[in-house]
């Protein structure tokens, strides 16, 4: 990447507030994603993308698939602060529904959304209800599409694997790779080890 590209990209990504060093990824300016397995009243996977200065979030009941034929329901949920991407543990009942949270996957992503033949900025793509991202995670990689199924802001979305080299109909990482990428623990271990502690 040339210096000029990097500078223009930095301008483009500039957020109103300085971001803490701990929150930034090791790979510089690339935005981050996290998928948190959340055992609340119902088990789901919270899919979060760094867009602007928040984590835009969706609850995916079945979790992400690596099979492009699967259309996984993704229910939009409230924006979370960037720092939340680091969280793994047990949360109180009055916070985001309580329950146990595991960092199931994380990494950086690239916006590959195009509109009328041009790259569309992430925030516009999110507003528009059509996002195409390329994930670089520990479990998931390659393209994923997020499509809003209605025109209203609270309409549901679908999360769909793009047909590419990382697509694999047989892999099913939600069941075959159930452990935390942060700690190697299962959700049961996190619940056991962190419940009733001093938090």
Identify which of 45, 23, 27, 10 has the alpha carbon closest to the alpha carbon of residue 136: 27
Interacting residue with Mn ion among 32, 34, 37, 38 (CB under 5 A): 38
| Cα 40 to Cα 46: distance, rounded to the nearest angstrom | 11
Give least dist CB 189 to Mn ion, A.
Answer: 19
- Interface region with Mn ion, contact rule CB under 5 A, candidates 44-52, 114-122, 170-178, 183-191: 44-52
Identify which of 141, 123, 156 has the alpha carbon closest to the alpha carbon of residue 35: 141
- Decide if residue 46 touches Mn ion (CB under 5 A): yes
Identify which of 88, 95, 60, 110 has the alpha carbon closest to the alpha carbon of residue 191: 88
- Decide if residue 48 touches Mn ion (CB under 5 A): no
Kindly state the helix (H) or strand (E) to which residue 158 belongs, with its residue range. strand 157-161
Give the residue with the Cβ less far from Mn ion, 104 or 143.
104
Give least dist CB 130 to Mn ion, A.
Answer: 23
Give least dist CB 106 to Mn ion, A.
Answer: 15
- Decide if residue 80 touches Mn ion (CB under 5 A): no
Distance of CA 8 to the CA centre of its chain: 25
Q: Give contact residues for Mn ion (rule: CB under 5 A).
A: 38, 46
């Amino acid at each position: 990447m040339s210096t000029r590209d990097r500078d223009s990209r930095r301008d483009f990504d500039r957020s109103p507030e300085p971001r803490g060093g701990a929150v930034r990824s090791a790979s510089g300016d690339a935005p981050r994603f996290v998928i948190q397995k959340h055992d609340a009243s119902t088990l789901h996977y919270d899919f979060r993308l760094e867009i602007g200065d928040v984590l835009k979030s969706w609850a995916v009941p079945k979790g992400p698939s690596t099979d492009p034929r699967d259309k996984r329901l993704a229910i939009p949920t409230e924006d979370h602060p960037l720092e939340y991407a680091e969280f793994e543990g047990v949360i109180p009942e009055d916070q985001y529904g309580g329950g146990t949270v595991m960092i199931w996957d994380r990494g950086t992503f690239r916006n590959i959304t195009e509109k009328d033949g041009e790259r569309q900025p992430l925030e516009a793509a999110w507003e528009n209800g059509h996002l195409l991202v390329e994930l670089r995670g520990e479990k998931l990689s390659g393209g994923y599409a997020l499509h809003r199924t209605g025109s209203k802001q609270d309409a549901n979305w679908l999360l769909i694997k793009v047909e590419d080299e990382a697509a694999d109909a047989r892999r099913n990482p939600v069941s075959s790779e159930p452990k935390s990428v942060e700690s190697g623990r299962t959700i049961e271990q996190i619940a056991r080890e962190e419940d009733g502690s001093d938090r």
